[in-house]
Amino acid sequence: MYNAALFLHNYCTYHSVSTRIEQELSSPDALRVYETEYFEQALMQTHHRKTTVALHTLGVAAVSLRLYYVLARLGMDLDKKCLVRAALCHDLGILGRDEKFDSTLECYTRHPLCSADTAKVVFPDLDGKTENCILCHMFPLTGKAPQYTEGAVLILADKYCAIAENIEAMIHRA
Ligand SMILES: [Fe+2]
Ligand SMILES: [Fe+2]
């Protein structure tokens, strides 16, 4: 049976994630996401050529937290709970993409809406800021700009991970 805590620990060890960020990725909010059927499905769905939605999600959450700490040192007080929730839920709406969406364009534009809906199932108390971060994470592709700095951080982390994952896949292409 899938063991969320062990999976997370193995991920953090393999990617040399700092102890502080591993602890943040093991928060009660984070564990709630890993223990959903959505995340188990995310472990199985390929994303960005050679990774999975689950691994991409953890990467985006780890990079978002790294940016959070960098910005905190610069005096910016961002909402860490919002960032973790948004990062861990931002792509859950892409699960089942082949059955759910008719085209790549539709997937790009609609999966943030589906992710926000899923996030509200996982976190019934989801606030408007976190919802906005999830809804706008595809900016500028969708033209819906985020209203909060946390949303901009999520966009940066998501784009960074997506580019890195695609380059990695190209380098290791058979
Ligand atoms: Fe996405
Ligand atoms: Fe993403």
Question: What pLDDT is recorded for position 3?
Answer: 86
147 within 8 A of 132, measured Cβ to Cβ: yes
**CA atoms within a 13 Å half-sphere pointing along the CA-CB vector of 52:** 12
Angle at 8 between CA 46 and CA 70, to 5 degrees: 95
At 52 the pLDDT is: 94
Cβ-proximal residues to 85 (8 Å cutoff; 6+ apart), any chain: 29, 33, 119, 123, 126, 130
From ligand 2's centre to the CA of 76, what distance in Å?
24
Query: In this structure, what token pair is assigned to residue 74?
Result: 């610069």
Distance 29 CA to ligand 1 centre (A): 20
- What pLDDT shows up at residue 169? 85
Interatomic CA distance for residues 52 and 92, integer angstroms: 11
| Cβ contacts of 98 within 8 Å, gap of 6 or more | none
pTM for this entry: 0.94
Mean pLDDT of 130-144: 95
CA distance 88 to 136: 14
Ligand 2 centroid–CA 141 distance in Å is 12
Number of domains in the chain: 1
Each residue of 10-43: pLDDT tens digit? 999 999 999 999 999 999 999 999 999 999 999 9
User: What are the residues facing 141 on neighbouring strands?
Assistant: none
Where residue 43 sits, what CATH number does that domain have? 1.10.3210
SS3 (DSSP) at 136: coil
* Euclidean distance between CA atoms 165 and 89, whole angstroms: 18
Q: Using CA atoms, how far apart are residues 33 and 151, in angstroms rounded to an integer?
A: 19
Q: What pLDDT sits at residue 5?
A: 86
Give the number of the ligand closest to the Cα of residue 115.
1
- The CA-atom distances, in angstroms, between 116 and each of 9, 15, 68, 93, 132 are 27, 28, 22, 7, 8
Q: For the residues 112-122, what does the mean pLDDT come to? A: 98
Give the per-residue pLDDT at 50.
84
Ligand nearest to the CA of 47: 2
Tell me how far the alpha carbon of residue 57 lies from the centroid of ligand 2, in angstroms: 7
Q: Note the ligand closest to the C-alpha atom of 94.
A: 1
Residues with a beta carbon under 5 angstroms from ion ligand 2: 91, 158
Domain of residue 157, residue span:
4-173
Structure tokens, 169:
């896949």
Residue type, 86: A
Structure confidence at residue 174 (pLDDT): 58
| Å from CA of 89 to ligand 2 middle | 9
